[in-house]
């Protein structure tokens, strides 16, 4: 049951992160393609967005390995 | 450029944090906690460096109209898994909760940097 719990935790978190990252990346590509001179600010916003989105799957991986290790 | 200034500042903050943790591991009576923090913060620094590098390459690829090669999400998740595996395998040296707190050190660095330098750039 521990492996199942770990798989569900990581899988759902990665699903959410994938959707979030996809939205961030698509908007950034759109923005830089329209106005290449705004690359710096857009990259900074993308950096912070990707970092925040990936917090949850990282915690999910940690919790999954803790569950499997017990 | 704004992005380059930001990544330089963030690396500087991470180096300061690592230096403080090393001092804590050497000088305080809690080496297990500080070694855990050191392990987590080192892998956190790797995550930060990888994310900065990948996003810079990504922006460069868009400007040059090339196809981008991903932003390294899977590698960052694998780094978190590696930290937990090391902490579970060598439990007598590393405190697990300290490893997890160290692993999220780069979020504190990013947020502090964003809050402090948002108006300057």
Q: Where are the domains of chain A?
A: 1-68
What whole-number distance in Å separates Cα of residue B120 and Cα of residue B21?
A: 29
Predicted confidence band of residue B121 (pLDDT cuts 50, 70, 90): low
Structurally, chain B folds into a number of domains equal to: 1
pLDDT in tens, B23-32: 999 999 999 9
Inter-chain CB proximity A21 and B73 less than 8 Å: yes
Interface residue ranges in chain A relative to chain B, Cβ cutoff 8 Å:
10, 14, 17-18, 21, 25, 28-29, 32-33, 36, 39-44, 46-48, 50-52, 54-55, 57-58, 61-62, 65-66, 69
B-chain residues near A7 (CB < 8 A): none
In the structure encoding, which two tokens stand for residue B76, read together?
A: 């960052």
pTM of the predicted structure, to 2 decimals: 0.92
Helical spans, DSSP H, in A35-70: 39-53, 55-69
pLDDT in tens, B10-24: 999 999 999 999 999
What whole-number distance in Å separates Cα of residue B98 and Cα of residue A65?
A: 16
Which CATH superfamily, name and number, covers A1-68?
A: F1F0 ATP synthase subunit C (1.20.20.10)
Q: What are the two backbone dihedrals, phi and then psi, of residue A48, each rounded to the nearest 5 degrees? A: -65, -40
What whole-number distance in Å separates Cα of residue A18 and Cα of residue A26?
A: 12
pLDDT in tens, A7-28: 999 999 999 999 999 999 999 9
ipTM, two decimals: 0.90
- The answer to whether B55 and A47 have CB atoms below 8 angstroms apart is yes
pLDDT of residue A69: 73
Average pLDDT for B33-49: 95
CA trace torsion B76, A56, A19, B85 (10° rounding): 40
Closest-CA residue of chain A to B48: A51
**Domain boundaries, position B88:** 2-120
């Amino acid at each position: 049951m521990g492996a199942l719990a770990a798989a569900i935790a990581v899988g759902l978190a990665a699903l959410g992160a994938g959707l979030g990252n996809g939205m961030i990346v698509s908007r950034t590509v759109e923005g830089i393609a329209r106005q290449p001179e705004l690359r710096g600010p857009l990259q900074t916003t993308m950096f912070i967005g990707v970092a925040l989105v990936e917090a949850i799957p990282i915690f999910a991986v940690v919790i999954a390995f803790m569950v499997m290790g017990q | 450029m704004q992005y380059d200034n930001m990544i330089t500042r963030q690396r500087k903050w991470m180096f300061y944090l690592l230096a403080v943790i090393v001092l804590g591991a050497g000088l305080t009576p809690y080496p297990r906690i500080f070694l855990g923090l050191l392990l987590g913060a080192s892998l956190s620094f790797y995550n930060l460096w990888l994310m900065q590098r990948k996003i810079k390459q990504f922006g460069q690829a868009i400007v040059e109209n090339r196809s981008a090669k991903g932003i390294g999400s899977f590698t960052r998740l694998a780094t978190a898994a590696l930290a937990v595996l090391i902490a579970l395998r060598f439990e007598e040296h590393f405190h697990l909760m300290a490893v997890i707190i160290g692993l999220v050190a780069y979020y504190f660095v990013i947020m502090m940097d964003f809050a402090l330098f948002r108006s300057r750039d």
